[in-house]
């Protein structure tokens, strides 16, 4: 590798991370550089997640855009923090040759790829968001736009998350005999906890008619899965 | 670039040379642009894009007349270049996710090539669009005609993009198809929100009169 390319890879490792280069990833999670990499991953999450969060909140107002730009990266970081121990345990149980710190870095790397994908989709998302009827539009239009945004963002976030975790494949096949199982368990654990953290940090999309707030006063009442069950029962009635 | 193109060209220096190369040997031109730093060619390609989109827009605007004659060129320009700018980051990231080594500059050059070829073809069909704009009263027919010609021009532009990507070793993948879907959604939304064929009341009246006359 020539020196210029080497420098650009070390300064901007996002493309190499997104490609999931096996050798690059093996160097990336080497024990001696873990702290620098952690800082890079966290910065990536705040930049990428922040831009996408701003695009989500822009539907409501600039205030909401600022709130969600802060909250979306926080949701990722809190999910990572809460799941850190269990993710490490899962890796050990599956027999992966990864230390706890390497497990954290692998997952944080996946989150930073996730944030990169979100960053790249932010202009598209913002454009569509600004073209939809706003929350002040007459009731059926505002409610429909809100539902459309909700479904659209959930699909984008879900698929980006799966694509990001899948990038770890090339690294994990050299670390465990069951990489698919490990990735599936990580996707499940992070998805399960992430959905609840996002629920606690609501409003994310800003229901039309409700006041804008950083957190709802009843933030800790109920959980995502209860609400999902309620919504499903409501639909079936 | 990894492979050599099927034909080599001497670098064109003037506008006509670049237009000719874009029509006859687009792949070689983009290859040349990507391999060597040629800001002049890049600027010419950008100028071709601007002029092509603006002239096509003017032809569309002549259908409704009035303010649309100067508004439509701006709208088409904004739609064409805006779609490119909005979808450029996702093309780069999706190419990386497909596992290919590519720089943002290379992706931008590919997009520029696609945009210039599309605009060039739109420029070519503009006189035809203008003739129909002057002689047709049916909004549906004119919209269908413009859309068909626009799609045909885009198909050639996209084909060039795919070819330049293949030259770099990037094969079509799920991500490239996903990007194409995003591009299509954004450009359609651009057309819906900017309405380059906005119909003014007098045109509606003209259409109604023509229908009654029949």
Supply the ipTM of this predicted assembly.
0.73
Which residues from chain B sit within 8 angstroms of residue A122, using beta carbons? 89
CB contact under 8 A, A127 and B89: no
Q: What is the mean pLDDT of residues B179-183?
A: 94
Q: What's the farthest any 2 CA atoms get from each other in chain B?
A: 63
Four-CA torsion B27, B48, B156, B29, nearest 10 degrees: 0
CB contact under 8 A, B90 and A20: no
* Separation in Å, CA of B90 to nearest CA in chain A: 5
Would you state the pLDDT for residue A232? 74
- Given a cut of 90, whether residue B50 has pLDDT beyond it is yes
Joined together, the tokens standing for residue A138 give 């007459």
Q: Which of A153-157, A162-166, B171-175, B201-205 has the lowest mean pLDDT?
A: B201-205
pLDDT higher for A40 or B40? Answer: A40
Interatomic CA distance for residues B1 and A32, integer angstroms: 35
Q: Which residue of B has its CA nearest to A163?
A: B97
Three-state helix/strand/coil letters over chain B = CCCCCCCCCCCCCCHHHHHHHHHHCHHHHHHHHHHCCCHHHHHHHHHHHHHHHHHHHHHHHHHHCCCHHHHHHHHHHHHHHHHHHHHHHHHHHHHHHCCCCCCHHHHHHHHHHHHHHHHHHHHHHHHHHHHHHHHCCCHHHHHHHHHHHHHHHHHHHHHHHHHHHHHCCCCCCHHHHHHHHHHHHHHHHHHHHHCCCCCCHHHHHHHHHHHHHC
Cβ atoms of residues A202 and A51 within 8 Å: no
Would you state the pLDDT for residue B78? 92
Structural domain contains residue B6:
no
- Given a cut of 80, whether residue B197 has pLDDT beyond it is no
Which residues from chain A sit within 8 angstroms of residue B186, using beta carbons? 124, 127-128
Structural domain contains residue B205:
yes
Write the residue in B94, B102, B189 that is nearest to A131 by C-beta.
B189
CB contact under 8 A, A124 and B94: no
Structural domain contains residue B35:
yes
Structural domain contains residue B1:
no
Domain range for B24: 15-213
* Separation in Å, CA of A110 to nearest CA in chain B: 12
Would you state the pLDDT for residue B37? 63
Please count the CA atoms within 13 angstroms of the CA of B214 that sit on its side-chain side.
7
Structural domain contains residue B10:
no
Looking at the 3D structure of chain B, how many domains does it have?
1
Structural domain contains residue B2:
no
CB contact under 8 A, B101 and A163: no
Q: What's the farthest any 2 CA atoms get from each other in chain A?
A: 65
Which residues from chain A sit within 8 angstroms of residue B189, using beta carbons? 127-128, 131
Q: What is the mean pLDDT of residues B13-39?
A: 77
Secondary structure E strands in A52-142:
none
Q: Which residue of B has its CA nearest to A166?
A: B97
Write the residue in B90, B101, B193 that is nearest to A19 by C-beta.
B101
| CA nearest to B94, candidates A120, A170, A14 | A120
- B53-97 pLDDT, tens digit per residue, is 999 999 999 888 888 888 899 999 999 999 999 999 999 999 988
pLDDT higher for A119 or B41? Answer: A119
CB contact under 8 A, B186 and A127: yes
Joined together, the tokens standing for residue A78 give 């809190």
CB contact under 8 A, B85 and A123: yes
- Given a cut of 50, whether residue B30 has pLDDT beyond it is yes
Q: Which of A60-64, B101-105, B144-148 has the lowest mean pLDDT?
A: B101-105
Would you state the pLDDT for residue B200? 57
Interatomic CA distance for residues A143 and B97, integer angstroms: 35
- Given a cut of 60, whether residue B203 has pLDDT beyond it is no
Would you state the pLDDT for residue B88? 94
Interatomic CA distance for residues B18 and B25, integer angstroms: 10
Interatomic CA distance for residues B174 and B86, integer angstroms: 20
Structural domain contains residue B117:
yes
Confidence of residue B31 (pLDDT cuts 50, 70, 90): confident
- pLDDT means per 10 residues, chain A with 237 residues, are 57 79 80 79 93 93 92 93 88 86 88 93 93 84 85 89 85 86 90 87 79 79 77 70
Write the residue in A20, A113, A127 that is nearest to B86 by C-beta.
A127
- Given a cut of 50, whether residue B7 has pLDDT beyond it is no
């Amino acid at each position: 590798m020539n020196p210029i390319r080497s420098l650009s890879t070390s300064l901007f490792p996002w493309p190499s991370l997104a490609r999931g280069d096996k050798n690059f990833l093996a160097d990336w999670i080497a024990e001696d550089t873990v702290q620098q990499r952690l800082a890079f991953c966290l910065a990536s999450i705040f930049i990428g997640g922040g831009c996408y969060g701003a695009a989500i909140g822009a539907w409501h107002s600039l205030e909401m855009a600022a709130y969600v730009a802060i909250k979306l990266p926080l949701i990722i970081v809190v999910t990572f923090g809460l799941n850190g121990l269990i993710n490490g345990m899962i890796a050990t149980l599956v027999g992966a040759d990864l230390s706890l710190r390497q497990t954290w870095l692998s997952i944080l790397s996946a989150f930073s790829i996730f944030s990169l994908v979100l960053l790249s989709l932010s202009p598209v998302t913002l454009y569509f968001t600004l073209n939809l009827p706003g929350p002040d539009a007459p009731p059926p239009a505002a409610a429909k736009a809100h539902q459309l945004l909700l479904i659209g963002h959930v699909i984008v976030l879900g698929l980006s998350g799966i694509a990001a975790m899948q990038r770890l494949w090339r690294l994990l096949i050299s670390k465990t005999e069951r990489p698919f199982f490990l990735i599936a368990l990580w996707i499940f654990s992070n998805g399960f906890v992430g959905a609840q953290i996002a629920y606690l940090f609501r409003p994310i999309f800003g229901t039309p008619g409700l006041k804008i707030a950083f957190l709802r006063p009843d933030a800790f009442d109920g959980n995502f899965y209860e609400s999902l069950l309620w919504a499903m029962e409501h639909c079936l009635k | 670039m990894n492979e050599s193109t099927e034909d080599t060209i001497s670098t064109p220096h003037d506008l006509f040379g670049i237009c000719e190369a874009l029509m006859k040997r687009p792949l070689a031109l983009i290859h040349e642009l990507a391999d060597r730093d040629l800001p002049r060619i890049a600027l010419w390609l950008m100028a071709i894009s601007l002029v092509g989109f603006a002239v096509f827009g003017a032809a569309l605007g002549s259908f409704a007349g009035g303010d649309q004659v100067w508004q439509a060129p701006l709208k088409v320009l904004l739609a064409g270049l805006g779609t490119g700018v909005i979808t450029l980051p996702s093309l780069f990231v999706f190419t990386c996710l497909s596992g290919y080594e590519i720089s943002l500059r290379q992706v931008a050059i590919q997009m520029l090539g696609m945009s210039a070829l599309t605009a060039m073809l739109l420029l070519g069909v503009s006189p035809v669009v203008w003739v129909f704009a002057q002689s047709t009263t049916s909004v549906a027919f004119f919209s269908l005609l413009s859309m068909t010609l626009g799609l045909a021009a885009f198909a050639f532009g996209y084909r060039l993009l795919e070819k330049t990507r293949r030259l770099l070793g990037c094969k079509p993948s799920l991500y490239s198809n996903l990007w194409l879907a995003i591009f299509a959604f954004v450009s359609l939304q651009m057309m819906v929100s900017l309405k380059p064929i906005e119909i003014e009341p007098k045109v509606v009246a003209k259409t109604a009169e023509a229908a009654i006359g029949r």
